[in-house]
Structure 1
Amino acid sequence: MISELGAKAKQLLIDLINTPSFSGEEDQTASIIGNFLKDQGVPFKREMHNIWAVNKNFDVAKPNILLNSHHDTVRPNKGYTRDPHKAETIDGKIYGLGSNDAGGCLVSLIATFIHFYKKEDLKYNLILLASAEEENSGEDGIRSMLPMMPEIDFAIIGEPTLMHLAIAEKGLLVLDCYAHGTTGHAAHVREDNAIYKAMRAVAWFESFKFAKLSETLHDTKMTVTQINAGSQHNVVPSTCHFVVDIRVNDLYSNQEVLDLVKDHVEVEVKERSLNLNSSSIPKDHEIVLAGIHLGRKVYGSPTLSDQANLTCPSLKLGPGDSLRSHTADEFIYEKEIFEGIDLYIKILKEIL
């Protein structure tokens, strides 16, 4: 059964790789996924570029598990030596944009859902969601789907984790900071220099340490990633703009971090979004214990996923390696897809 499901999943992955699906432009891959489910006898619904389905014996009285991964991709970087939209299988590797992030996870979860689709007397209902706009945290992705689907009790988010259990992931807070000063000729004394104000704030972002350290996610990390000011050598600019990328552990909310920053820096601070908070699942949750029982490790993930849009407990788990994501000549091993399906099924069997 696993070999048959794996073969179908592999071909689906190849079809997805061969079809460009940048965030917001996933129309064709949504159709491919929908047609695949139709061919497997699975009714589905489509909302914009999101495809979702429930198991055949769905029971409104039972709790619900969400199986989710995304079918959009980032744009290929300039380091590619292969056609990013042409799947190639060489020496056991399937090359192509989105193969690792997160095509391999998506097709493995779809195969797992099909395995359980007709099963009777399951403890949980299963909801499958192939979502759009994950890479750009878009409004028309999983966030738009949550009000349309049944209430979710917990979720498995398909992202490359080498099939280990990411029981927590850091949230993301991006800040645009503006230091304001007085413009004028550089030859004159200026006490109100926007660049110097920005430098003092940047030094604080570099040196400040958050007090709360998480068992799984460790510290909350702030990094200044962009800075811009001035247009010519002899003019003091009125404004210096810089950007701060903050990865927030599970002991702080994004609002708490924002409030703390505003209390400590003398620059204007504007947040881009407060929605992408840290997410986690208790270490003693039954799905986590099921994975541990099968020899999987638990850890905290520094990278962001659609977990950030969920309010229920969620676990990040999938075939592939996060270190390959967004790299040139991205790939996933064929065997990882088969192993992923096998482990997904075994973990779910422990609780279903």
Structure 2
Amino acid sequence: MKINDLTQKAISLLKELIETQSFSSEEEQTAQLIEQWFTSHHIPFQRTKNNVWTTNQHFDKNKPTLLLNSHHDTVKPNSAYTNDPFKAIVEDGKLYGLGSNDAGGCLVSLIATFTYFYTFKDLKYNLVIVASAEEESSGANGLNSMLPIIPPIDVAIVGEPTLMNLTIAEKGLVVFDAVVEGTPSHAAHPNTDNAIYNTIEVLKWFQEFQFEKTSQALGDVKMTVTQIKAGSQHNVVPAHVDLVIDVRVNDAYSNEEIAQILQEKSPCTKITPRSLRLNSSAISPEHDLVKAGLAIGRSTYGSPTLSDQAVLSCQSLKLGPGDSTRSHSANEFIYLSEIEEGIELYIKLLNKCILENQ
């Protein structure tokens, strides 16, 4: 199939996806639209809950496998929208609508790219595509649930908006719940162990603490106190203050190491990670995918934002059309030209990496 034809069909699919509600864990109808794409292109597929996946026609278990992945769930639209978030509107070369940029443009571009290569013989890599659910909520029924089901993966391209530049590393995430304790009392009486006052020094510690190891691609670990809660009425000094700490982890640390450091060093009474599974991600600058991307004029960078890369144990590259700064914004949009370029560049990249004659 010609690339131009695939591109126009991909844009039509994206318009349908925009106009079909698909909040995390509510992606049944968008999964059906993706099924219809594969059916119309005579590609057998499988569906596990709201994840739709398939492999290339000439899959060979003796070859390494490249995963193509992006998600079809969305966040809920924010109150600042002036457009209908569920209406695909094209104006001045922009396609507006919820999920257009994050990550519908990436998803349909990868689906079109997979379809282009589906019937190719003698590829260096097998191809597996997963249109996944529950990415926005890091849910239990997303890409992580598919890893025991799909063939073993050696390397992955995760479609997220990167302006088609190569994200060769991505920070992981650990969220901590922390407690600062004190002595509860009536507000009218002296109290030298007020939990709220005790929190002042604790907050200062979090503000000033620096993890020792930095990363060439991702810089320093970034730790931020994002929530604080204490007290129930005006005349009672509370027994404790609850904090939430957001830690963005570079590839110099494992999530387990971060948890150990904070549990040993932080001045909190208690500090507990909610989960340690959202790890940092990276791919070697010497990997063929990175070399191919550089050869077609793309640049590399490290990303502070989280994606489904976090659930993969293999090397992975985040790459896709669109701009991350538009994600979750009001009147979200993607340029049609970005989708056209995205499909063209995905195909150029894979031409350099997976064709036997390259």
Which AA in structure 2 matches 1:184?
Answer: S
Query: How far has the Cα of 1:188 moved from its partner?
Result: 1.9
The aligned residue for residue 299 of structure 2 is: 297
The aligned residue for residue 157 of structure 1 is: 158
Which AA in structure 1 matches 2:273?
Answer: E
- 1:81-100 pair list within 5 angstroms: 81-100=82-101
Query: What runs of 5+ residues in structure 2 fail to find an aligned partner?
Result: none
- 2: CA distance between counterparts of 1:197 and 1:134? 38
Which AA in structure 1 matches 2:137?
Answer: N
| Of 229-238 and 273-282, the range deviating more from structure 2 | 229-238
- 1: CA distance between counterparts of 2:201 and 2:114? 53
- 1: CA distance between counterparts of 2:346 and 2:267? 50
Equivalent pairs counted in the alignment come to: 352
The aligned residue for residue 30 of structure 1 is: 31
Q: Deviations over 1:248-302 (max 9, x none)?
A: 0000111111111111223211211100010000011010000001110000000
- 1:260-271 pair list within 5 angstroms: 260-267=261-268, 268-271=270-273
- 2: CA distance between counterparts of 1:254 and 1:191? 36
Which AA in structure 1 matches 2:294?
Answer: I
- SS in structure 2 at match of 1:244: strand
Query: How far has the Cα of 1:192 moved from its partner?
Result: 2.3
- 1: CA distance between counterparts of 2:325 and 2:54? 31
Matched, 1:195 2:196: yes
The aligned residue for residue 4 of structure 2 is: 3
Q: Deviations over 1:47-105 (max 9, x none)?
A: 00000000001111111000000000001011100111111111110000000000000
Query: How far has the Cα of 1:147 moved from its partner?
Result: 0.2
Q: Deviations over 1:182-208 (max 9, x none)?
A: 211122222322112322221111001
Query: What runs of 5+ residues in structure 1 fail to find an aligned partner?
Result: none
- 1: CA distance between counterparts of 2:266 and 2:187? 25
- 2: CA distance between counterparts of 1:94 and 1:146? 33
- 2: CA distance between counterparts of 1:97 and 1:351? 33
- 1:82-231 pair list within 5 angstroms: 82-231=83-232
The aligned residue for residue 55 of structure 1 is: 56
- 2: CA distance between counterparts of 1:107 and 1:338? 11
Moved beyond 2 Å, runs of 4+: 196-199, 231-234
CA RMSD of aligned residues (A): 0.8
- 1: CA distance between counterparts of 2:203 and 2:271? 12
Query: How far has the Cα of 1:233 moved from its partner?
Result: 2.6
Which AA in structure 2 matches 1:122?
Answer: L
Which AA in structure 2 matches 1:167?
Answer: I
The aligned residue for residue 245 of structure 1 is: 246
Kept in 2: contact 1:197–1:266 (CA 8 A): no
Query: How far has the Cα of 1:179 moved from its partner?
Result: 1.3
The aligned residue for residue 318 of structure 2 is: 316
Q: Deviations over 1:143-178 (max 9, x none)?
A: 100000111000000000000000000000101111
For normalisation by structure 2, the TM-score amounts to 0.97
Kept in 2: contact 1:255–1:274 (CA 8 A): yes
- 1: CA distance between counterparts of 2:227 and 2:353? 46
Kept in 2: contact 1:2–1:338 (CA 8 A): no
Q: Deviations over 1:221-266 (max 9, x none)?
A: 0011111111233210112111111100000111111111111223
The aligned residue for residue 290 of structure 2 is: 288
- SS in structure 2 at match of 1:168: strand
- SS in structure 1 at match of 2:251: coil
- 2: CA distance between counterparts of 1:179 and 1:189? 19
The aligned residue for residue 327 of structure 1 is: 329
Query: How far has the Cα of 1:2 moved from its partner?
Result: 1.8
- SS in structure 1 at match of 2:188: coil
Which AA in structure 2 matches 1:154?
Answer: V
| Of 128-137 and 201-210, the range deviating more from structure 2 | 201-210
- 1: CA distance between counterparts of 2:203 and 2:263? 13
- SS in structure 1 at match of 2:20: coil
- 2: CA distance between counterparts of 1:12 and 1:194? 55
- 1: CA distance between counterparts of 2:293 and 2:266? 44
- SS in structure 2 at match of 1:151: coil
- 2: CA distance between counterparts of 1:31 and 1:254? 36
Kept in 2: contact 1:64–1:153 (CA 8 A): yes
Matched, 1:342 2:347: no
Kept in 2: contact 1:178–1:198 (CA 8 A): no
- 2: CA distance between counterparts of 1:244 and 1:163? 32
- 1: CA distance between counterparts of 2:202 and 2:183? 17
Which AA in structure 2 matches 1:323?
Answer: T
The aligned residue for residue 255 of structure 2 is: 254
Matched, 1:351 2:324: no
